[in-house]
């Protein structure tokens, strides 16, 4: 079974004073690209979040957002009187030097100055740290479960498309049976028109055999069928435990499938076979697009 790189998870935990919420989402990426948004007071706990995310998700563009809500009111903000006194003195001196009148509303002016209000820094206690880790763990578990569900959907999609290509491959057989005789007949008919030219009949037979062998697609059909089976084997069973690293492997197999389909198209020399090849390519392009989402 495969797992997707796309997913979303949410977790929350609560202490007597705060409610902590964590949301983690991931998209496909060649490597782990992790972005964290954590309140400044909880920055020291980032490592506690980065390590389990890296171990559980392995690959993907991952964004984790942590929000903290206060359940009870924190200590009220206080006016920074000392600092505002310094501001007022400097402004009065400025007015004297430049001959400017005193402000009509000192309160409004001073309260707009930087750091006019001061609050006590948020303290992260043991309960807050435990709640933080619990919320992160819940969100991460939800994301992993989401990825597995998406992996099951991708599994069904891939099986359908691979079986479709296998069915199309079998449809080539009737055209293949009639193609070679028609090619031979057409070549002999064209040669028959060249009445003024003498040629060695034995040598012609050799050249016809050589030419027809170059158009033979039996090897390509066999290799394509082998690649299709290998793709399904790599997917694993529907109820198997998800394996990591399958996405890159499936991508390589899809490239090999594409090579054989392209060779079939170049050798087919038959309208019916060409239509089948186009359908195969359409299925394969859909497979390649979705393989990028596989972990």
pLDDT single digits (tens) 112-156: 887 777 655 466 778 888 999 999 999 999 999 999 999 999 999
Contacts of 268 (CB under 8 A, 6+ apart): 175, 179, 217, 274, 277
Of residues 279 and 203, the one with the higher pLDDT is 279
The answer on pLDDT for 204 being more than 70 is no
Top mean-pLDDT range of 72-81, 106-115, 279-288? 279-288
Single out the residue of 150, 140, 165, 142 nearest to residue 230, CA to CA: 165
Distance CA 259, CA 219 (A): 12
Residue 117 has phi, psi (to 5 degrees) of -115, 145
Distance CA 114, CA 99 (A): 25
* CA 210 to the chain's CA centroid: 47
Of residues 79 and 155, the one with the higher pLDDT is 155
Residue 33 has phi, psi (to 5 degrees) of -120, 100
Mean of the pLDDT values across residues 34-56? 86
Distance CA 216, CA 43 (A): 66
pLDDT number for residue 78:
75
Of residues 16 and 230, the one with the higher pLDDT is 230
Range scoring the smallest mean pLDDT among 33-37, 139-143, 248-252, 271-275? 271-275
- The token pair at 99 is 């001959």
Distance CA 184, CA 212 (A): 8
Contacts of 215 (CB under 8 A, 6+ apart): 179, 180, 183, 267, 269
Q: What is the pLDDT of residues 218-264, one digit of tens each?
A: 888 899 999 999 999 998 877 666 667 788 899 999 999 999 999 88
Q: What is the DSSP letter of 287?
A: H
H or E stretch including 69?
Answer: strand 60-70
Distance CA 37, CA 39 (A): 7
- The token pair at 25 is 């989402």
Residue 202 has phi, psi (to 5 degrees) of -65, -45
pLDDT number for residue 77:
63
pLDDT number for residue 116:
78
* Residue pointed to by tokens 């819940």: 138
| E-strand stretches of 127-278 | none
Range scoring the smallest mean pLDDT among 45-59, 86-100, 114-128, 142-156? 114-128
């Amino acid at each position: 079974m495969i797992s997707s790189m796309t997913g979303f998870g949410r977790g929350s935990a609560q202490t007597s004073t705060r409610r902590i919420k964590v949301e983690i989402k991931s998209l496909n990426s060649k490597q782990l690209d992790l972005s964290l948004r954590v309140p400044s007071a909880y920055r020291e706990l980032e490592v506690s979040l980065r390590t389990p995310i890296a171990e559980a998700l392995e690959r993907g563009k991952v964004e984790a957002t942590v929000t903290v809500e206060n359940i009870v009111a924190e200590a009220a903000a206080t006016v920074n009187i000392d600092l505002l006194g310094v501001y007022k003195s400097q402004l009065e001196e400025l007015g004297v030097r430049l001959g400017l009148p005193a402000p009509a509303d000192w309160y409004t002016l001073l309260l707009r100055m930087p750091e006019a209000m001061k609050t006590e820094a948020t303290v992260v206690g043991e309960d807050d740290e435990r709640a933080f880790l619990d919320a992160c763990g819940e969100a991460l578990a939800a994301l992993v479960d989401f990825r597995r569900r998406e992996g099951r959907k991708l599994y069904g999609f891939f099986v359908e498309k691979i079986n479709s290509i296998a069915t199309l491959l079998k449809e080539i057989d009737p055209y293949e049976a009639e193609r070679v005789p028609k090619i031979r007949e057409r070549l002999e008919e064209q040669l028959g028109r060249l009445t003024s030219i003498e040629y060695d009949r034995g040598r012609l037979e050799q050249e016809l055999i050589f030419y027809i062998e170059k158009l033979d697609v039996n090897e390509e059909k066999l290799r394509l069928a082998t690649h299709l089976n290998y793709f399904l084997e790599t997917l694993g069973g529907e109820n198997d435990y998800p394996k990591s690293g399958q996405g890159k492997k499936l991508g390589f197999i899809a490239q090999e499938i594409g090579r054989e389909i392209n060779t079939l198209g170049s050798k087919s020399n038959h309208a019916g076979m060409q239509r089948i090849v186009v359908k195969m390519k359409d299925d394969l392009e859909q497979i390649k697009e979705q393989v990028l989402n596989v972990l």
